[in-house]
Amino acid sequence: MDFLLNATSAVMATGPLVAMLGATLLGVLIGALPGLNPVMAIALLLPLTYSMDPLVALAMVAGIYNGSMYGGAIPAILLRIPGTPASIATTFDGFPMAEKGEAAKALKIACWSSAVGGIASALALMTVGPLLARATLHFGPAEYFWIAMFGMASVGVMVGSDPVKGVMAAVLGLLLGTVGIDQLSGQARYTFDQPWLLGGLDLVVVLVGLYALPPVLQLAEKCDLKGLSAAQLRLASVPFRKGEVKGLLPTWGRSSLIGIFVGILPGAGGNIAAFLSYNAAKNASSEPESFGKGNPQGVAAAECGNNADNAASMIPALTLGIPGNVVAALVLSALMIHGLQPGPQLFHQNPVLVGGFMIEMLLTSVLILLVGGAAATRIFAQIQRLPGVLLVPSILVLMCVGVYVINGRPVDLWVMLAAGTAGYLLEKLNVPLAPIILGMILGPMAEQSVRRALLISRGDPVELLTRPISAVLAVATVAMILWPVMKAIKRRRAKNMSENNA
């Protein structure tokens, strides 16, 4: 642990501290604007940092990454527009809370949950990182297949009141996920000879359209000319009531563990972490039917889960040289430009730098409390005071800019418009949108993994089940599907019994 002391003194210099504070603020802003996402911001920023002190550069990465994961919650709660893919699950209960006039409380819970998740994740990175990284190597294609199936089984809890429509939405997502070059055969699927479709539909573009456009159109429908007055906004700091934090503790603990677990697996991301955490919180709750109607536990689970993914996603990158997501790949590329060789010896090459980055991930998680709680939440929440006539066009412009800069091509704007129109109509038909994105994320993961696993087993499907980890995951998947059913049957029986007794 000597390296942590040395690294701490290196981080506690003016440069890194200022960078962390500024970048966390910037990150919250980036997360709060639909379309803009941390991957893009870090990719744009990194070249500027090549000539900087690496600890300052990494401080900015840490700040943007952690800040944006929280920032995504702000529009998710206030406007039902997820700022990043990872904040979709936050809309489920965050927006209903805001509708009930509990926006300030929801933002506060999101802020604390983000910080708790981030801190837990950073501590995991510092302490058990290398150990966990070795464990992830046991996850081969068969195990990834089951993780994707496990995630898909969780669709059950987010299908809403009409399971058939929910499943239809999930299938639509699976279909959209097949567009593009098939990685295993090299065949183009559903590309209609359009070169821009070869890479598949960009998840963020579809997401912005599907999730941001319908709420914006609904705002427009209200024809709101005035906006909320300062008094209606009620943003005065709401202190946690007695016992409230205690009530959130189990959710935080569970979501942190889920987030860390998902984070260390290369390829899975914050969005999956948030969905699974939300799902787990709902299953564990004594009143699952209150989820989706403004239960603070839902906000806490989603926000804690997506931030717990962050530092953990750096574990395979820093300890094995295997980047699990784009942000981790960018961090590795920055380290290489500064002359370091990613891999197991990275830590020995420069313990102060690697340890410093870990501490920066920790400190920026703490900074979320300061930046988010004290400043950003109140400032950003002011947008609710804007009348709809101003808010609608402003959000539309931001969405277009955000979507355009992802790949720099106008056709993405049409994709966004198409996805948005579809989303608007589907909402009118009471089709839940979350399963669509889940299908798009998990479908390709499940398909590619199972086909790779079958290539390796020379076509024998039994091998999908015979390895210990995949067997456990398979059982968990079945349990995940049966759990709500059993619970419902049990409840019905209890109800019958009480009726009989009466």
Partner 1 sequence: MKINKIIVAAALLGCTSSPALSDYPERPIELTIPAGAGGGTDTSARKLALLLEEKLGTSIAVLNVGGGGGSVGASQFMQAKPDGYALFATWNSPLTTVPQVQNVAYTLDSFTPIASTSETAYTLCVHPEFPAETGEEFLAELAANPDKYTYGNDGIGGTMQLAAERIFQARDIKAVAIPFGGAGETLQNFLGKHVDIYGGSISPVLPYVEEKQAKCLVVTSAADVPALPQAAGLESLGLGDKETLLWRAILGPKGLDQAIVDKLAAVIDEAVNDPSYVEFLASKGEVPNVVKGEALGERLREEFDALAVVSKNLGLAK
What does the binding site for partner 1 look like in residue numbers (CB under 8 A)? Answer: 39, 43, 46-47, 50-51, 136-141, 180-181, 183-186, 188, 193, 195-196, 198-200, 266-267, 316, 320-323, 326, 328-330, 332-333, 336-337, 339, 341-345, 407-409, 448, 452, 455-456, 458
Nearest to partner 1 of 91, 448 (CB atom): 448
What is the DSSP code (8-state) at residue 139?
Answer: -
DSSP code per residue over 463-474: HHHHSHHHHHHH
Please, what is the minimum distance in Å from the beta carbon of residue 177 to partner 1?
Answer: 14
Please, what is the minimum distance in Å from the beta carbon of residue 65 to partner 1?
Answer: 13
Please, what is the minimum distance in Å from the beta carbon of residue 453 to partner 1?
Answer: 9
Nearest to partner 1 of 260, 346 (CB atom): 346
Backbone angles phi, psi at 181, to 5 degrees: -70, 130
Please, what is the minimum distance in Å from the beta carbon of residue 38 to partner 1?
Answer: 12
Please, what is the minimum distance in Å from the beta carbon of residue 200 to partner 1?
Answer: 7
CA dist., res. 126 & res. 143, Å (int):
26
Nearest to partner 1 of 234, 452 (CB atom): 452
Nearest to partner 1 of 56, 367 (CB atom): 56
- At 478, is the secondary structure helix, strand, or coil? helix
Please, what is the minimum distance in Å from the beta carbon of residue 206 to partner 1?
Answer: 14
Please, what is the minimum distance in Å from the beta carbon of residue 136 to partner 1?
Answer: 8
Nearest to partner 1 of 53, 224 (CB atom): 53
Are 418 and 428 in contact, with CB atoms under 8 Å apart?
no
Nearest to partner 1 of 336, 397 (CB atom): 336
Backbone angles phi, psi at 25, to 5 degrees: -60, -50
Nearest to partner 1 of 22, 140 (CB atom): 140
CA dist., res. 314 & res. 432, Å (int):
33
Nearest to partner 1 of 180, 387 (CB atom): 180
DSSP code per residue over 323-358: -SSHHHHHHHHHHHHTT---STTHHHH-HHHHHHHH
Please, what is the minimum distance in Å from the beta carbon of residue 15 to partner 1?
Answer: 21
Q: Which two tokens stand for residue 308?
A: 């717990």
Please, what is the minimum distance in Å from the beta carbon of residue 327 to partner 1?
Answer: 8
- At 188, is the secondary structure helix, strand, or coil? strand
Chain-centroid distance, C-alpha 425: 25
Q: Using alpha carbons only, what angle is made at residue 418 by residues 86 and 204, rounded to the nearest 5 degrees? A: 20
What's the N-to-C CA distance of the chain in angstroms? 64
Nearest to partner 1 of 50, 245 (CB atom): 50
User: Left if phi > 0, otherwise alpha if psi is -120 to 50, otherwise beta: which for 101?
Assistant: left
Please, what is the minimum distance in Å from the beta carbon of residue 180 to partner 1?
Answer: 7
What is the DSSP code (8-state) at residue 189?
Answer: E
Q: Which two tokens stand for residue 38?
A: 């941390």
Dump strand ranges (E) for 62-193. 180-181, 188-189
Please, what is the minimum distance in Å from the beta carbon of residue 414 to partner 1?
Answer: 15
CA dist., res. 435 & res. 425, Å (int):
16
Q: Using alpha carbons only, what angle is made at residue 327 by residues 326 and 330, rounded to the nearest 5 degrees? A: 85
Nearest to partner 1 of 236, 462 (CB atom): 462
The total of other beta-carbon atoms located within 10 Å of residue 407's CB is 15
Beta-bridge partner residues of 383: none
Chain-centroid distance, C-alpha 195: 29
**270 closest CA partner among 305, 299, 236:** 305
Please, what is the minimum distance in Å from the beta carbon of residue 470 to partner 1?
Answer: 11
Nearest to partner 1 of 234, 451 (CB atom): 451
- Residue 67's identity, in one-letter code, is G
Are 403 and 139 in contact, with CB atoms under 8 Å apart?
no
Nearest to partner 1 of 38, 215 (CB atom): 38
